[in-house]
């Protein structure tokens, strides 16, 4: 039976298990939106206020559900508005399929109205992209896009759809998606044995865990591995939730805004096992001093990450879940590193996270949030001080429940991501920890939250400045606060109410616990404007170019 290209897209999305898409209509995607209208009982479309919000929502949906996120935009400016969200997903290895409209095939390359070479623009920030010029190739292209987005190291794929392709008709044959198998073609017995030998002979092993463990659904295997080798573990920002914050083996984040404990452990260990992490500059800082006393074993599904930033002693290339399972099988006897674990515990007592600045208000507010959030809640963040405070002070117990823009550092990410997470997990609560600078970039998405009555809570850490940039200006630019003061008198509570969203205020003298509890009890969308002192800082911190051991804002415990 022949059907239109637009209907073929719908059938392929249903085949792939897609139940929700995020987007914004326009002329070049009218046939697709007409098909969505006719199939709204099969696929829910969430209309965002801006295409960038749609891409971030698809990203948050993917991170929080483990499924592929889907976003749709029209040609030209609609497509280019997706680019930041696509790049965000690319840097953080998020499976996403972006469907963009374009002008009809005969008009391609003629500078037609709202034409842009979106496949060329996004080539550096996608795993792959397609432009479909024959409707008979459409179904297989969509299927390939979903397969590529998920296999190996996940990431975004773009499919560009000229308008006439969605109008033409073609025979369609249903197909069952092939199982996505773990990538093991580069996994060798030799690399496993070499890694195992290093592990068994280490006296002070340390694990550095990244987002690859979460993407690879390998947290259970990691927990067993840590127990078998009797080692502590630190995480990157993207790895928050891969190891429970309540685990005695957990030492916190590592790197620029990590804990002194994690950074000391990385420097003191004799074997650093890096699992699903990529040696970001925000983790490594001064490369020549990073883990200088250790041999480094890197486990990663992406061979391009091996020896890219830091030279390793040994590497194992393959799906992290498979690799950890194989290593766990081969460790015949549980290893014991009592003295090393005692040293780690002594670091924890000596270097607790302390807060310098005018107050400890961010820690108090997030501590209160931790108490009132129901189990299994999801947290999204914006970027900057709010992001670091959320990573440092909240407990991250479940993989995929903490969503933040790590690699790209995208201001404006959190509200869209919270929308996507709430749509993908309607029975859970979702909180976006935001800063006032970031929220200025995405407060238009309150319209989306209100339209769909999503019970998202936006916790606005309001210090009336671009806090992280101001912190750098304070420390490294002699307090020259060039264009970072946000003293425009915005009443965020009134703004929320203008969108039909509840607004609350936490003043500096207020007890945040009761107000936060009241917000959760509403089971409706709420914006909470929290006053934060202007010069509260994110500590500890590693200055640019310094060793990760050399941290600013660290105090030793008086009880040590």
Q: Which residues contact 189 (CB under 8 A, 6 or more apart)?
A: none
CA atoms 194, 199, 202, 208: torsion sign: positive
* Residue 511, both tokens: 């007890």
Task: Supply the DSSP symbol for 113.
Answer: T
Cross-strand partners of 528: 459, 504
Alpha-carbon gap, residue 108 to 122, rounded angstroms: 17
Buried b (16+ CB within 10 A) or exposed e, 91-126: bbbbbbbbbbbbbebeeeeeebebbbebbebbeebb
Q: What are phi and psi of 317, to 5 degrees?
A: -100, 120
* Residue 425, both tokens: 């997990």
Alpha-carbon gap, residue 36 to 55, rounded angstroms: 18
Alpha-carbon gap, residue 9 to 162, rounded angstroms: 13
* Chain mean position to CA 292: 29
- The answer to whether residues 222 and 243 touch, using CB atoms and an 8 Å cutoff, is yes
Q: Which residues contact 230 (CB under 8 A, 6 or more apart)?
A: 205, 334, 335, 336, 337, 338, 340, 341
* Residue 96, both tokens: 């996403």
For 69-204, where are the alpha helices, taking DSSP H only?
77-80, 83-91, 118-122, 138-150, 163-167, 189-201
Q: Which residues contact 332 (CB under 8 A, 6 or more apart)?
A: none
Q: What are phi and psi of 154, to 5 degrees?
A: -65, 165
Containing 380, the helix (H) or strand (E) segment is strand 378-381
Count of C-beta atoms within a 10 Å radius of residue 203: 10
Containing 349, the helix (H) or strand (E) segment is helix 338-350
Task: Supply the DSSP symbol for 149.
Answer: H
Instruction: Please give the torsion angle defined by the CA atoms of residues 361, 381, 420 and 88, in that order, rounded to the nearest 10 degrees.
Output: 170
* Residues with a known catalytic role: 51, 113-114, 163, 468
Count of C-beta atoms within a 10 Å radius of residue 325: 17
Cross-strand partners of 98: 71, 158
Q: What are phi and psi of 2, to 5 degrees?
A: -90, 135
For residue 244, which of 213, 215, 283 has the smallest C-alpha distance? 213
Alpha-carbon gap, residue 510 to 432, rounded angstroms: 21
For residue 401, which of 382, 383, 418 has the smallest C-alpha distance? 418
Alpha-carbon gap, residue 554 to 258, rounded angstroms: 11
């Amino acid at each position: 039976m022949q059907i239109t290209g637009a209907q073929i897209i719908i059938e392929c999305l249903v085949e792939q298990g897609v139940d929700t898409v995020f987007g914004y209509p326009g002329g070049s995607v009218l046939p697709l939106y007409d098909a969505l209208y006719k199939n709204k009982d099969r696929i829910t479309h969430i209309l965002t206020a801006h295409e960038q919000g749609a891409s971030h929502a698809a990203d948050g949906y993917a991170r929080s559900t483990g499924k592929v996120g889907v976003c749709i935009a029209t040609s030209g400016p609609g497509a280019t508005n997706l680019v930041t969200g696509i790049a965000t997903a690319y840097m953080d290895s998020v499976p996403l399929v972006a469907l963009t409209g374009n002008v009809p095939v005969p008009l391609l390359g003629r500078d037609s109205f709202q034409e842009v070479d979106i496949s060329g623009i996004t080539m550096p920030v996608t795993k792959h992209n397609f432009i479909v010029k024959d409707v008979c190739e459409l179904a297989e292209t969509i299927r390939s896009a979903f397969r590529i987005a998920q296999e190996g190291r996940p990431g975004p794929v773009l499919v560009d759809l000229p308008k006439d392709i969605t109008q033409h008709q073609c025979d369609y044959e249903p197909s069952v998606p092939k199982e996505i198998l773990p990538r093991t073609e580069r996994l060798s017995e030799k690399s496993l044995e070499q890694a195992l030998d290093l592990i068994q002979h280490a006296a002070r092993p340390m694990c550095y865990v990244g987002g690859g463990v979460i993407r690879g659904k390998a947290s259970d295997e990691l927990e067993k591995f840590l127990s078998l080798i009797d080692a502590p573990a630190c995480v990157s920002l993207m790895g928050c939730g891969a190891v429970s914050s309540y685990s005695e083996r957990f030492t916190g984040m590592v790197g620029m805004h990590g804990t002194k404990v994690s950074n000391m452990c990385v420097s003191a260990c004799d074997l650093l096992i890096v699992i699903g992490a990529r040696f970001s500059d925000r983790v490594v800082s001064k490369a020549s001093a990073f883990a200088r006393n250790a041999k480094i074993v890197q486990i990663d599904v992406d061979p391009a990450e091996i020896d890219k930033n830091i030279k390793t002693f040994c590497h194992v290339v393959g799906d992290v879940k498979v690799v950890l399972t194989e290593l766990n099988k081969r460790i015949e006897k549980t290893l014991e590193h009592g003295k090393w674990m005692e040293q780690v515990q002594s670091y924890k007592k000596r270097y607790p996270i302390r807060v310098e600045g005018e107050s400890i208000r961010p820690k108090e507010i997030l501590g209160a949030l931790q108490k009132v959030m129901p189990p299994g809640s999801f947290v999204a963040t914006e970027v900057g001080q709010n992001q670091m405070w959320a990573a440092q002070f909240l407990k991250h117990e479940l993989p995929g429940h903490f969503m933040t823009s790590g690699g790209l550092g995208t201001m404006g990410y959190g509200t869209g991501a919270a929308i996507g997470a709430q749509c993908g997990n309607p029975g859970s609560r979702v909180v976006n920890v935001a800063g006032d600078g970031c929220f200025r970039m995405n407060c238009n998405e309150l319209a989306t939250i209100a339209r769909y009555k999503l019970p998202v809570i936006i916790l606005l850490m309001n210090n009336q400045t671009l806090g992280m940039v101001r912190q750098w200006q304070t420390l490294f630019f002699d307090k020259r606060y060039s264009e970072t003061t946000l003293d425009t008198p915005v009443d965020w509570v009134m703004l929320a109410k203008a969108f039909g969203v509840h607004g609350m205020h936490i003043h500096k003298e207020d007890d945040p616990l009761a107000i936060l509890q009241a917000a959760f009890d509403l089971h409706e969308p709420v914006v909470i404007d929290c006053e934060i002192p202007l010069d509260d800082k994110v500590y500890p911190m590693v200055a640019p170019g310094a060793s990760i051991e050399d941290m600013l804002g660290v105090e030793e415990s008086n009880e040590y």
